[in-house]
Amino acid sequence: MSLTNLDLVNQCDAFPYPAADSSTYLASVNTYYQLRVSGYNYALGYMLPSVVEVFRGVPNWEIDDDARILVLTAGSNAEERSKAVETTLLAMRETGHFKVLSKWRGELYAVYGAGKELLFNVERSASPLFGVVTYGVHLTAYTWKDGQVKIWTPRRAKTKQTYGGMLDNAVAGGIASGESPFESLVRESEEEASLPEQLVRSKARACGTVTYWYVRDERAGGETNLMQPEVQYVYDLELPEDTVPKPGDDEVEEFYLWSVEEVQEAMRNGQFKPNCALVALDFLIRHGILTSENERDYIEIASRLHRKLEFPTL
Amino acid sequence: MSLTNLDLVNQCDAFPYPAADSSTYLASVNTYYQLRVSGYNYALGYMLPSVVEVFRGVPNWEIDDDARILVLTAGSNAEERSKAVETTLLAMRETGHFKVLSKWRGELYAVYGAGKELLFNVERSASPLFGVVTYGVHLTAYTWKDGQVKIWTPRRAKTKQTYGGMLDNAVAGGIASGESPFESLVRESEEEASLPEQLVRSKARACGTVTYWYVRDERAGGETNLMQPEVQYVYDLELPEDTVPKPGDDEVEEFYLWSVEEVQEAMRNGQFKPNCALVALDFLIRHGILTSENERDYIEIASRLHRKLEFPTL
């Protein structure tokens, strides 16, 4: 296997783009159902018809097959809607309707409206059923050694249910509803890499977002082809030479301190978790390592790492 | 006047986006004609109908009014096509058809196909008539002083025909056909800011691209509403405290060494040339100055600064 950097982007940002010729795009979009909440006339996510079918006749939900829309009809505020969503999902988990629900996390993700208001919370494992935008933090930890940048690269535990044994960014995690990106980063840095809170608070630097539209495959576990549009808040952290990240839980097997060439080779070999490869590409571009001189698809990659998602975001 | 950062983005990235509800977008796109070259069945740019009208009956051009396409029929290679385009434009300049052609630059811009091959060159001042993608370099020069980042900010000469008296990035210029981004940067850095070649070659760092779809207004000079989708290769250059950029030609009036707050205030007051404000926003995001904590529209801005253009790019 030898993947180009654009191949890596295509693997993770897999939903088609509306082009000047928009027929392919429209044909693709029209395969799905929109998720909406009552009173808001825009889509919050795209759902597979096979998923929508399971909501047919379920209280608090209405399906408009002509317009291809699933509407959450219950509730007039976030709390009421969240309760209705939870009730539905708990019942579906009970009846074993969806494989993804067997990985119930007990963590809530936020779904926002066009005015950035919270519309409802949804159990993390269920979010790809609805195809709503989810939010995470990814940190690249690096060290200068002998005049070269070295990147701390963890390998995920082989026993991890999703992307087991694949390479990751130094710290990565989902943002729970109500948590700020930076507080999420501080928490995850301690949990996953044993990085001291004070170091992260004083030295981690926000560097933008990486956004993409993932379509889930087998490696993600559960149903495939579910939509997962994501926003990753990216951070850089330059570590002193004597600071070594250590697995803080059982999710990481080992941390490697790799040269840029070693990271790039592992990327070409498809060893990185798909979205982590994108965060690594963003790092390499921002730090002048990937340039228009050495990367044929520089312009396209720089755009694709920052996809404008078609649903409201925070 | 008090512009938000998103207002600044909207001013420069002004062409509508295809949304989940794509009717507004399609209505807008269908106003224009596509520019194509014979044998390539995709758009290279969007043109106003009033501009296309002037090409009616002109040798080497064909108009398909039903499909709304203007085709360059002449030539089977870049040289022949470029010659045909030049012949047409020189004639149109002679007859005074377009105001933009009165600012004839004698510089060629490259237009690329989907395989990144050169399709033809076009006189710089004419490129917005065709709505093709153009390429430039923008450099942010900064200095650390008293523990604070200061940004070198030039004011354009009041006599400059376009955006006279407005604020700019330290170095900015268009990339001529056949020139590499980095060589263009080195040349412009010397011409516009008197920055020594050796300093730029050794210290300027490529940091990605800023891409947007500008729609020209009065300040750009000539016809308004012409399409100008652009790719800017962005570079950062940290200058030693004792290195002071100086106007190297008559295009710049003066360089200010401004704090981030001073830059942001000038942005809010609409003093920056529109695309330079975007490059400044990209700098502030990459350097952790604008964050999700202090910028309400952080996610949207990070995406919009990296628009995926709908035409082939290099």
- What mean pLDDT comes out for the span B298-306? 98
Q: What's B138's domain CATH number?
A: 3.90.79.10
The DSSP symbol for A263 reads H
Q: A–B: how many Cβ contacts below 8 A?
A: 116
What is the C-alpha separation between B80 and A261, in angstroms, rounded?
43
Report yes or no on B274 lying in a domain: yes
Report yes or no on A313 lying in a domain: no
Cβ <8 Å between B207 and A29: no
Looking at residue A19, what is its pLDDT? 66
User: How many other β-carbons are positioned within 10 Å of the β-carbon of residue A284?
Assistant: 24
Question: For residue A279, what pLDDT band results from cuts at 50, 70 and 90?
Answer: very high
Cβ <8 Å between A292 and B43: no
Structural contact between residues B109 and B78, judged by C-beta atoms closer than 8 angstroms: no
Q: Which of A128, A157, A174 is the last residue of a domain?
A: A128
Question: For residue A31, what pLDDT band results from cuts at 50, 70 and 90?
Answer: confident
Residues in chain A: 314
Q: Which of A180, A302, A313 sits opposite B208 (nearest CB)?
A: A302
- What mean pLDDT comes out for the span A146-170? 94
Look over chain B and give the mean of its residue pLDDT values, rounded to a whole number: 95
Question: Given phi > 0 = left and psi -120 to 50 = alpha, else beta, which region is A57?
Answer: left
* Structural domain for B262, as ranges: 5-13+134-304
Chain A CB contacts of B233 below 8 Å: 292
Q: Which of B20, B302, B313 sits opposite A43 (nearest CB)?
A: B20
Domain shared by B150 and B227, yes or no: yes
Tokens in use for B169? Answer: 């990035």
CB proximity A299 to B under 8 Å: yes
Task: Encode pLDDT of B121-170 as tens digits.
Answer: 999 999 999 999 999 999 999 999 888 999 999 999 999 888 999 999 99
B148-to-A121, B142, B241, B258 alpha-carbon distances in Å: 40, 10, 12, 10
pLDDT surpasses 80 at A21? no
- What mean pLDDT comes out for the span B78-98? 97
Largest CA distance in chain A: 65
Chain A CB contacts of B34 below 8 Å: 20
Please name which of A157, A143, A115, A149 lies closest in space to residue A244, comparing C-alpha atoms. Answer: A143
Looking at residue B21, what is its pLDDT? 53
What is the C-alpha separation between A205 and A237, in angstroms, rounded?
6
CB proximity A302 to B under 8 Å: yes
- What mean pLDDT comes out for the span A208-228? 94
Report yes or no on A312 lying in a domain: no
pLDDT surpasses 80 at A20? no
Report yes or no on B314 lying in a domain: no
CB proximity B302 to A under 8 Å: yes
Domain shared by B119 and B224, yes or no: no
What is the C-alpha separation between A55 and A223, in angstroms, rounded?
16
Question: For residue B296, what pLDDT band results from cuts at 50, 70 and 90?
Answer: very high
What is the C-alpha separation between B220 and B160, in angstroms, rounded?
11
Report yes or no on A216 lying in a domain: yes
**Residue B221 C-alpha, separation from nearest chain A C-alpha, in angstroms:** 27
> Which residue's entry shows tokens 């608070």?
A201
Q: What percent of chain B has pLDDT over 70?
A: 99
Strand partners, B108: B123
Domain shared by B54 and B182, yes or no: no
What is the C-alpha separation between A90 and A111, in angstroms, rounded?
18
Q: Which of B20, B287, B311 sits opposite A42 (nearest CB)?
A: B20
Residue A180: phi and psi, rounded to 5, are: -85, 155
Q: What percent of chain B has pLDDT over 90?
A: 90
Report yes or no on B20 lying in a domain: no
Looking at residue B92, what is its pLDDT? 97
Question: For residue A17, what pLDDT band results from cuts at 50, 70 and 90?
Answer: confident
pLDDT surpasses 70 at B195? yes
Domain shared by B124 and B263, yes or no: no
CB proximity B43 to A under 8 Å: yes
Looking at residue A211, what is its pLDDT? 98
Domain shared by A97 and A79, yes or no: yes
What is the C-alpha separation between B10 and B12, in angstroms, rounded?
6
- What mean pLDDT comes out for the span A240-264? 94
User: How many other β-carbons are positioned within 10 Å of the β-carbon of residue B33?
Assistant: 24
What is the C-alpha separation between A276 and A154, in angstroms, rounded?
11
Chain A CB contacts of B211 below 8 Å: 299, 302-303
Looking at residue A249, what is its pLDDT? 83
Domain shared by A165 and A251, yes or no: yes
Q: Which of A101, A128, A155 is the last residue of a domain?
A: A128
**Residue A159 C-alpha, separation from nearest chain B C-alpha, in angstroms:** 34
Domain shared by A200 and A298, yes or no: yes
Question: For residue B215, what pLDDT band results from cuts at 50, 70 and 90?
Answer: very high
Q: What's B64's domain CATH number?
A: 3.30.750.160
Strand partners, B112: B118
Question: For residue A304, what pLDDT band results from cuts at 50, 70 and 90?
Answer: very high
Amino acid at A265: E
Question: For residue A92, what pLDDT band results from cuts at 50, 70 and 90?
Answer: very high
Taking CA atoms, what residue in A is nearest to B34? A20
Looking at residue B209, what is its pLDDT? 98
Tokens in use for A190? Answer: 């301690």
- What mean pLDDT comes out for the span B22-33? 79
Question: For residue B248, what pLDDT band results from cuts at 50, 70 and 90?
Answer: confident
Look over chain A and give the mean of its residue pLDDT values, rounded to a whole number: 95
Strand partners, A218: none
CB proximity B182 to A under 8 Å: yes
Q: Which of A292, A295, A297 to mutate to test the interface with B (most CBs of B within 10 A)?
A: A292
Report yes or no on B309 lying in a domain: no
**Considering its fold, how many domains does chain A have in total?**
2
- What mean pLDDT comes out for the span A241-259? 93
Strand partners, A148: A145
Domain shared by A65 and A189, yes or no: no
Looking at residue B19, what is its pLDDT? 66
A74-to-A16, A62, A63, A80, B270 alpha-carbon distances in Å: 32, 10, 13, 7, 45
Q: Which one is predicted more confidently, B19 or B285?
A: B285
Report yes or no on B60 lying in a domain: yes
Domain shared by A153 and A108, yes or no: no
Domain shared by A147 and A212, yes or no: yes
pLDDT surpasses 70 at A22? no
- Strand ranges for B146-219 from DSSP E: 148-156, 171-174, 205-215
pLDDT surpasses 60 at A181? yes
Domain shared by A75 and A43, yes or no: yes
Q: Which of B78, B96, B130 is the last residue of a domain?
A: B130
pLDDT surpasses 80 at A224? yes
Structural contact between residues A72 and A60, judged by C-beta atoms closer than 8 angstroms: yes
Domain shared by A281 and A295, yes or no: yes
Q: What percent of chain A has pLDDT over 90?
A: 90
